[in-house]
Amino acid sequence: MSGAKILVVDDELIVRESLGGWLERDGHKVEKAASGEEALEKCQNTRYDILLLDIKMEGMSGLEVLKKVKETDPDVSVVMITAYGSIPSAIEAMKSGAYEYLLKPFDPDELMVLIEKIMKHQADRRETLFLREQYKERTRFESMIGQSRALQEVFDLIERIAPTDSTVLIKGETGTGKGLAARAIHTKSRRSQGPFVVVNCGAFPEHLLESELFGYQKGAFTDAKTTKKGRLELAHGGTLLLDEIGEISMRMQIDLLRVLEDRVFYRVGGTQPIEADFRIIAATNKDLEKAIKEGTFREDLYYRLNVICFTMPPLREHKEDIPLLAEYFLHRFAQETNKPVDQISREALDEMMLYDWPGNVRELGNAMERAVVVGRGRRILPQDLPIFRPGSVSTPPGRTLREVEIAHLNSILNETQWNISRSAEILGIDRSTLYDKIKRYDLQKPA
Amino acid sequence: MGSKDHTLLISPIGELDGNGELLDQLRMEIHNVFGYETRLLSLLEEKDLPADPIRKQVHSTPILETLALLAPPEALKILAITRVDLFIPVLTHVYGEAQLGGKACILSTYRFWEKRSSTPESFRCRMLKEAIHELGHTFGLRHCRDAGCVMHYCRSVSEVDRKSSQFCRYCAVLLQDEMKRMG
């Protein structure tokens, strides 16, 4: 992740252009909206880290925009921009969930410090969520399960590549088990007694990712009170999983390339070269070849990572594993929640087989967890499952996969009143994936 | 590094602190850093920069657009230097502004004398570093976290004094990539 994704909302073109340009030079990705209405439309389709929002605009005011944006995306940080005369509105905005307000004209340093503070705050929050998710995966999905040919081929490949020390690139949609595959490679390798260290590259802004990976020397920057080892050092003797590798900045790509070539790196602010012995596994749900063509991913790094590459199949391509997986999740969650559920009805299983599981095995796990919790008897019934059910929404007969997906997305979004975080949770996919789908299918919130 | 078909232009606006020798030194140093033929060519006068009646400063963005239009065809990039104080709306001031990955950039020397211990030599170094910095933006480089790198954003002249006039190895690679891309 390089810089923040920022939406500048102001009805004055000159402010949008000049502030946008300044932020871009500072390494941020900037989009602009000329009105509150345009800002809301953009927020429906794209996830921003920060909104710089002018309070006083023609049409919808900044305050109204703030309230509506916070309803859909409570995680976005909104900074209100205000003139001296509008301070009471700015205070009202703070009460409505704005992160901060800036009085026009403001010192560029003030803006820079504020953006850094927001990015640090957001990175901490993402890391906490990531660790929580990791913990869940470790305790619930200890091993990969599947009898299908597609998964058996993956298992065979893992058996063969695990003993080598080659770099591995794992591709696949969200929720297909890329992290589990990486862990399996580690467990079956000569490094199994060493650490298995995971870095979610998408969770950190560039400079924090640099400190996380390489560590830092005491005094390297203002907050560096003590020397800290990075995850590269912590992975010594083991395996380092770089999750969401497609999200790293061009600058970090240069760094990683150097590490892959030399196996030597420096702590931030350090002058001593550090050698660490670890195997790198990278995972991504992005199309890296496309990113290379677009100039956002280095070709030389791609070929360094792509020594051994395989793709985790989406669940819709190995549906024959659904009964086995559902059974596994049923027993696991029944045990955890101490509920006497031990069967899945034929009808519920039929529905699971008909559904396409866009969130893959993770979504299936979430669906079974919910079914176990809300189910009333010993058997899981169709109504216990939070999945698309024929007849529950109106779709034309002979519908395509695309139509089914659109109908299901609409159904869940409407059920949660377009609460993106909640919908993504139910669907078992990332918020960014959900935003992508909303954009791709041009889904509209009902008026 | 750069191709001989392209030229970098340094365009002083009106009188500058220092003398003609200072600009010529800057021209040579810019040539050494980027490798392109570098020329001095004045395109605008100080009277062409309208000061904002309330702020008594000059809005830098429109100047960049004018410079990009006035630049001769062989000019790959153009760096204007002025002693007037620059701003962009909503910000109190800027030390300079550049079209990211574009043609024009501008640098103000107005705040280079802020430190009491400033000398002509420290002024020259500041001008060189910030000139490279703004030109770096026109080659698509963004601010760098490395406090020693010339692309580091400095919050004061003391920070400018502390950084070097060199690109860190990351920015150097990105600059080379961009130069290769431009041919």
Q: Which of A367, A384, A401 is the last residue of a domain?
A: A384
* pLDDT confidence of residue A130: 67
* pLDDT confidence of residue A106: 87
Split into its structural domains, chain A has a count of 4
In angstroms, the separation between the Cα of residue B20 and the nearest Cα of chain A is 30
Residues 6+ apart with CB under 8 A from B123: B17, B18, B109, B112, B113
Residue A9 lies in a domain: yes
Domains within chain B, CATH numbers bracketed: 7-182 (3.40.390.10)
Of A22, A26, A105, the CB nearest to B92: A105
Residue B2 pLDDT > 60: no
Q: What is the mean pLDDT of residues A118-145?
A: 66
Residue A123 lies in a domain: no
* Per-residue tokens: B51: 């000061």
* pLDDT confidence of residue A187: 86
- Confidence band of A138 (pLDDT split at 50, 70, 90): very low
Domain with A59, as residue range(s), is: 5-117
Q: Which of A338, A357, A384 is the last residue of a domain?
A: A384
Residues 6+ apart with CB under 8 A from B19: none
Phi then psi for A133, rounded to 5 degrees? -65, -40
DSSP conformation class of A428? T
- Confidence band of A139 (pLDDT split at 50, 70, 90): very low
Task: Give the pLDDT confidence of A349-379 residue by residue, as tens digits.
Answer: 988 998 889 889 988 998 998 888 888 888 8
* pLDDT confidence of residue A142: 40
Name the strand (E) or helix (H) holding A170: strand A168-171
Query: Is B46 annotated as catalytic?
Result: no
pTM: 0.59
Is there a single domain that holds both residue A177 and residue A253? Answer: yes
Q: Which of A256, A288, A313 is the last residue of a domain?
A: A313
Task: Give the pLDDT confidence of A5-19 residue by residue, as tens digits.
Answer: 999 999 988 888 888
Beta bridge partners of A390: A393
The average confidence (pLDDT) of chain A is: 85
Set B121, B134, B159, B178: catalytic member: B134
Would the CB atoms of A12 and B89 count as touching at under 8 Å?
Answer: yes
Residue A46 lies in a domain: yes
The answer to whether A111 faces chain B, any CB pair under 8 Å, is yes
Would the CB atoms of B91 and A19 count as touching at under 8 Å?
Answer: yes
Is there a single domain that holds both residue A232 and residue A274? Answer: yes
Find out whether A340 and A372 touch, Cβ atoms under 8 Å.
Answer: no
Q: A365: domain CATH number?
A: 1.10.8.60
DSSP conformation class of A338? T
The answer to whether A81 faces chain B, any CB pair under 8 Å, is yes
Would the CB atoms of B89 and A15 count as touching at under 8 Å?
Answer: yes
Cα A20 to Cα B91: distance, rounded to the nearest angstrom: 12
- Residue A156: Cβ-neighbour burial (10 angstroms; 0-12, 13-18, 19+): exposed
Phi then psi for B179, rounded to 5 degrees? -65, -40
Name the strand (E) or helix (H) holding A369: helix A360-374
Residue A336 lies in a domain: yes
In angstroms, the separation between the Cα of residue B154 and the nearest Cα of chain A is 9
Return the residue in A1, A18, A30, A57 with the most chain B beta carbons within 10 A, the one to mutate for interface testing.
Answer: A18
Is there a single domain that holds both residue A228 and residue A277? Answer: yes
In angstroms, the separation between the Cα of residue A354 and the nearest Cα of chain B is 49
Q: A243: domain CATH number?
A: 3.40.50.300
Q: What is the mean pLDDT of residues A304-327?
A: 92
Return the residue in B106, B142, B156 with the most chain A beta carbons within 10 A, the one to mutate for interface testing.
Answer: B142
ipTM: 0.72
* Per-residue tokens: A190: 């000569």
Residue A126 lies in a domain: no
Is there a single domain that holds both residue A305 and residue A176? Answer: yes
Q: What is the mean pLDDT of residues A131-144?
A: 54
Is there a single domain that holds both residue A161 and residue A292? Answer: yes
Residues of B in contact with A294 (CB under 8 A): none
Is there a single domain that holds both residue A336 and residue A225? Answer: no
In angstroms, the separation between the Cα of residue A288 and the nearest Cα of chain B is 19
Is there a single domain that holds both residue A370 and residue A394? Answer: no
Residue A129 lies in a domain: no
In chain A, whose CA is at the least distance from the CA of B61? Answer: A18
Is there a single domain that holds both residue A341 and residue A194? Answer: no
Is there a single domain that holds both residue A80 and residue A167? Answer: no
Would the CB atoms of B90 and A250 count as touching at under 8 Å?
Answer: no
In angstroms, the separation between the Cα of residue A23 and the nearest Cα of chain B is 10
Give DSSP secondary structure letters for B119-155: -HHHHHHHHHHHHHHHHHHHTT----S-TTSTTSPPS
* pLDDT confidence of residue A125: 78
Q: Which of A208, A29, A295 is nearest to B142 (CA)?
A: A29
Is there a single domain that holds both residue A196 and residue A73? Answer: no
Residues of A in contact with B144 (CB under 8 A): 251
Residue A181 pLDDT > 70: yes
Question: Crossing angle for the helix pair A178-187 and A108-140, nearest 10 degrees?
Answer: 60
Phi-psi region of A213 (alpha: psi -120 to 50; beta: other; left: phi over 0): alpha
Of A3, A22, A207, the CB nearest to B88: A22
Would the CB atoms of A19 and B88 count as touching at under 8 Å?
Answer: yes
Residue A17, CA distances (Å) to A267, B60, B61, B89, B99 in order: 37, 12, 9, 9, 11
Task: Give the pLDDT confidence of A22-35 residue by residue, as tens digits.
Answer: 898 888 989 999 99
Is there a single domain that holds both residue A230 and residue A359? Answer: no
Would the CB atoms of A3 and B142 count as touching at under 8 Å?
Answer: yes
Would the CB atoms of B99 and A206 count as touching at under 8 Å?
Answer: no
Is there a single domain that holds both residue A239 and residue A296? Answer: yes
Name the strand (E) or helix (H) holding A118: helix A108-140
Q: What is the mean pLDDT of residues B61-73?
A: 93
Q: A101: domain CATH number?
A: 3.40.50.2300
Residue B46 pLDDT > 80: yes
Q: A438: domain CATH number?
A: 1.10.10.60
* pLDDT confidence of residue A103: 87
* Per-residue tokens: B54: 């309330």
Residues of A in contact with B87 (CB under 8 A): 105
B/e letters for A82-101, b = 16+ CB within 10 Å, e = fewer, are beeebeebbeebeeeebbeb
> Three-state DSSP class for A326?
helix
Would the CB atoms of B91 and A21 count as touching at under 8 Å?
Answer: no
Query: For B25, what's the count of Cα atoms within 13 Å in the CB-facing half-sphere?
Result: 12
Of A19, A26, A221, the CB nearest to B153: A26
Q: Which of residues 318-377 of A touch B (CB under 8 A)?
A: none
CB atoms under 10 Å from CB of B102, counted, come to 17
